[in-house]
A and B are shown apart, each in its own frame.
Chain A
């Protein structure tokens, strides 16, 4: 019997629930921690950013109107799917980060646990951030958190899976949709995560993942007038400052953490509340 042809995976982008190549046709070589060649990844362009924002905007009305319970279920489903592909992620994380199989296994487990943790928040965050306010008049006065809209995310360069999940989950669990610029150094687990998302009942367009140069794409995302918030966790100081300036034009909400984030620490609710707005309703009583 002749030798089998090797069947290698083509790493593409994830936009609007589909896996297109970059419109620019570009790709770049991804290497492992020891400098060995792993695969070619798509190098997305500003037009892919634009298309991803369009897809995210289109998905926003449906996703933000879904019940918190439903969103929580879907996040939990993502965790289930991720667990089912554990072995694949362990080997990808080990190759990308150059860590041992045991350490990589811990990182994948942590990513699954992080998803489950955020899934639980879906129907609790409004109790935490909402309130009934005492007012001097015959009114019920209620404040509830509402999702901001389309959020751009520059994912952290380190932690290609755990870090990525830790920035995506808090944004989408509250009803936002997002465009993620994956780690430029280690983009492969992000596209495998996209395969998980695509089979988790998550509506297409809620999460869009682009691989390529953050320095090239992030300013377009930060300047885009139809993006409502931006998470600059993965941007270096210079890029983050530039993006923050661009984001000021339409008053985007900006999350720019100080220093290095320890993903293993208790994440708190900060990443969720950064992309929430407050809606207050006055309802007359006693009539």
Chain B
């Protein structure tokens, strides 16, 4: 496969359709099988801390206020104020106009600020607007940009348009990391997920992300499995490592730990690091904290003692 001289739709099409097909039944069974692993006691404790340190704490609502973003950012830095041994989360994820607010709160704590851009969540706008949206978020202090691909173009076979958009947005990012949202819930098949993953990696994405969180189904285990296989194969072939971020629908500690098992068994332990694997979520953090408290105190925790968000 020749990369990255994608000069025409025909050459992109040839390389993407040259990828081996995904065995749907096999992928579902493999993901379900890995989901039955039993992770207990000290291993569970480690997994919980690792999962917390990988969370992209997210609020992407029309009703987001500056106050809500500030509160969420404070929680990102100190997830459990009663226990300083709880690690901070990897990043906060907000809309572009709230990046400055988030930047102000997280400061130099090490928590990164991610911003969605490019006419999130539908991606229905011109390239100029998408680039301007990205530039605005970067100028406001975003460390990471979560862009959405043009699913309409992808599904109609216009791979070059998607490819060039990702390249253009990557250029607008400058120093900032680029996460490419495939919105797998709209891609219909696992074959398309594999193709979109390769397309995003070939175009220069630093991360591939499953979903916006606005479409169901979002980050299912099999879809994440297919994407993890893609980043593994891409590194073998091209020598560049790309991160994976499942987002949407991860609500419980069990969901999060299943994801970690999947990473370890599919892409390998190199990816078990917040630089290479993230969990896009909001409600999962409270469940992780409650489970952590259960392991610490030996009594079941209750939601009354954690933030409402």
- Contact check, A226 vs B302: say whether CB atoms are below 8 A apart: yes
Interface residue ranges, A against B (CB under 8 Å): 50, 53, 220, 223-227, 246, 249-250
**Complex CA distance for A165 and B301, rounded to whole angstroms:** 29
- Give A220's nearest chain B residue, CB to CB: B300
- The contact sample of 19 A-B pairs, CB cut-off 8 A, is A50-B300, A53-B300, A220-B300, A223-B300, A224-B299, A224-B302, A225-B299, A225-B300, A225-B302, A225-B304, A226-B300, A226-B302, A226-B304, A227-B302, A246-B299, A249-B299, A250-B302, A250-B304, A250-B305
How distant is A56 from chain B, measured CB to nearest CB, in Å? 12
0 or 1 for each of B278-309: is its CB under 8 Å from A? (1 = yes): 00000000000000000000111111110000
Contact residues in A for B299 (Cβ distance below 8 Å):
220, 223-225, 246, 249
Secondary structure class of chain A's binding surface, majority of residues: helix
Which of B298, B299, B300, B304: most chain A Cβ within 10 A? B300
Contact residues in B for A227 (Cβ distance below 8 Å):
302
Contact residues in A for B302 (Cβ distance below 8 Å):
224-227, 250
Contact residues in B for A225 (Cβ distance below 8 Å):
299-302, 304-305
- Give A249's nearest chain B residue, CB to CB: B299
How distant is A93 from chain B, measured CB to nearest CB, in Å? 34
- Give B305's nearest chain A residue, CB to CB: A225
Contact residues in B for A53 (Cβ distance below 8 Å):
300
Contact residues in A for B301 (Cβ distance below 8 Å):
225-226
- Give B303's nearest chain A residue, CB to CB: A226
**Complex CA distance for A225 and B300, rounded to whole angstroms:** 6
**Complex CA distance for A49 and B301, rounded to whole angstroms:** 13
How distant is A223 from chain B, measured CB to nearest CB, in Å? 4
Contact residues in B for A223 (Cβ distance below 8 Å):
298-300
Contact residues in A for B303 (Cβ distance below 8 Å):
226
Contact residues in B for A250 (Cβ distance below 8 Å):
302, 304-305
Contact residues in B for A50 (Cβ distance below 8 Å):
300
**Complex CA distance for A223 and B301, rounded to whole angstroms:** 9
**Complex CA distance for A201 and B152, rounded to whole angstroms:** 48
How distant is A176 from chain B, measured CB to nearest CB, in Å? 16
Contact residues in B for A249 (Cβ distance below 8 Å):
299
- Give B301's nearest chain A residue, CB to CB: A225
Contact residues in A for B304 (Cβ distance below 8 Å):
225-226, 250
Which of A225, A226, A250: most chain B Cβ within 10 A? A225
**Complex CA distance for A52 and B16, rounded to whole angstroms:** 49
Contact residues in B for A226 (Cβ distance below 8 Å):
300-304
